Chains A and B, each alone.
Chain A
């Protein structure tokens, strides 16, 4: 809104009455957002601004442990490890030479096993969710068939599934991947459905009058037009996959980031718990970035429907 306003105030007074297209033969220059620095300066500034809050956080953590603060919710900071302890544990967890316990160097097998579980569950959920979602978004009948059912299942949290899954699947890899698939499926299917539903009707008409068949229209128009919504669903789904991973790895597996955290709790190693938490956080963060990158590469900078 403010963009458009600033743009029109600098333009000549002669403005078309509510004409949707820009008059004239030259497209308007892209306006920079007000109150932002130039692009390069802004990037550097953003990087610099990312540091203070984590630094203060670590300092407060250190102080809290030293003075054994008791925070709201009954958080007893005295039970926490020092930041430096966690850093050492992390180092040993990652590099065997720096570790002196059973967990030395275990990060990589843990990470490999966890990534494999997340990836299997997430890919399965993506295929099922995108295919069903796109069809739901375009078909009244299919949508009416599945939408109520999906919305009945969706509020059931993965934690509530765990006991049942333990009895009908057992514990281990399969149940973990099942839980991940289940949890990631809902945001993906709903994202795809809402994206497919909101494809501009004009583009559908355009493709039909140009001779596209039903399937060509789905692949060539609906999917690209719904891509931003699909990717949003995928990102939420991937985030949930990491959440549920820990849940699934609590019992029945020895290798995995979640498994290590559970073992660390059993032997009361808060430093290892926190180290494991940091690893999962980083893995989730990086996988989200990777997903965005894959998406950008797939579209090679093509502009998408706003």
Chain B
């Protein structure tokens, strides 16, 4: 795909206001560019603002300062060019699997039959064609998350946003989905922003890993402390020395004492 899906966060800050008027600076000084087609993972301790960052790019939250753009176009609210995969799937329980996947195309004017064809195609991508006419509630967590991935892919998004998408899954399903996601990324060349708690997952999947530190609990706004490139060619072996070296480097950054921040 030759379209420009470069993501830019420029001098981004996010303040939340609590009901009693207090302000929490959740994010500050975030500068980050993600190249078109790049896979970037974000790791960091709980509360450091990972979800906030992703939700601003998704358009669910507004930046308090700075700007976010995709392909040079500033983000103004959610849109089908940025598909979001949630940890809790967010599937419509009253729609079948195929209808869930066809939901985006339908809303954007596709005919019922065309939406169905798209759904079939993307359910094939995630290996769920047999379950097209089931309801999400009849599927396991891993299968539901596959449906959610197929659902955003059916919109042909330029950016894929994933917030701990595999966080609620068991280890086996999780590694299956990681492998599948790598394959899908190779095939679609979509820009991906992937938030996770698992450093291993981040190193396994990403071209670069963004390490965030700080957060309201530390009295410092959340910010990017380092961006670590993952220079591992080809198939990634989680047991290899290089892999674990990068893992350790990132772990040290994530757990770094506050003074180094």
Contact = CB atoms under 8 A, between A and B. Distances in A.
Given A203-B92, A211-B79, 14 more contacts: A19-B168, A21-B144, A21-B168, A25-B140, A25-B142, A205-B60, A205-B78, A206-B92, A208-B77, A209-B79, A210-B155, A302-B95, A302-B135, A304-B93
A208 B168 CA distance: 23
15 contacts: A21-B144, A24-B170, A25-B142, A25-B173, A205-B60, A205-B86, A206-B86, A207-B92, A208-B60, A209-B60, A209-B78, A209-B83, A210-B107, A302-B95, A303-B93
| SS of A interface (majority) | loop
A212 B107 contact: yes
Interface of A: 16, 19-27, 202-203, 205-213, 216, 220-221, 224-225, 299, 302-305
Contacts, number: 98
Contacts of A305: 93-94
B170 A221 contact: no
B90 A205 contact: yes
Nearest to B144: A21
A115 to B, nearest CB: 31
A211 B144 contact: no
A27 B58 CA distance: 31
Contacts of A203: 90, 92
Contacts of A216: 107
Interface string B66-85: 00000000000111101110
A21 B82 CA distance: 25
B151 A299 contact: no
Most chain A beta-carbon contacts within 10 A, residue among B83, B90, B138, B173: B90
B77 A21 contact: no
B137 interface: yes
Contacts of B82: 209
Contacts of A299: 94
| SS of B interface (majority) | loop
A290 B58 CA distance: 44
A220 B94 CA distance: 10
Given A19-B168, A21-B169, A24-B140, A208 B94 contact: no
Contacts of B39: none
A208 B58 CA distance: 10
Interface of B: 58-60, 77-80, 82-84, 86, 88, 90-95, 103-104, 107-108, 135, 137-144, 151-152, 155, 168-170, 173
B107 A20 contact: no
Contacts of A21: 88, 140-141, 144, 168-169
Nearest to B171: A23
A210 B104 contact: yes
A299 B60 CA distance: 30
Contact of B94 (A20, A26, A207, A224): A224
A225 B155 CA distance: 23
A19 B91 CA distance: 18
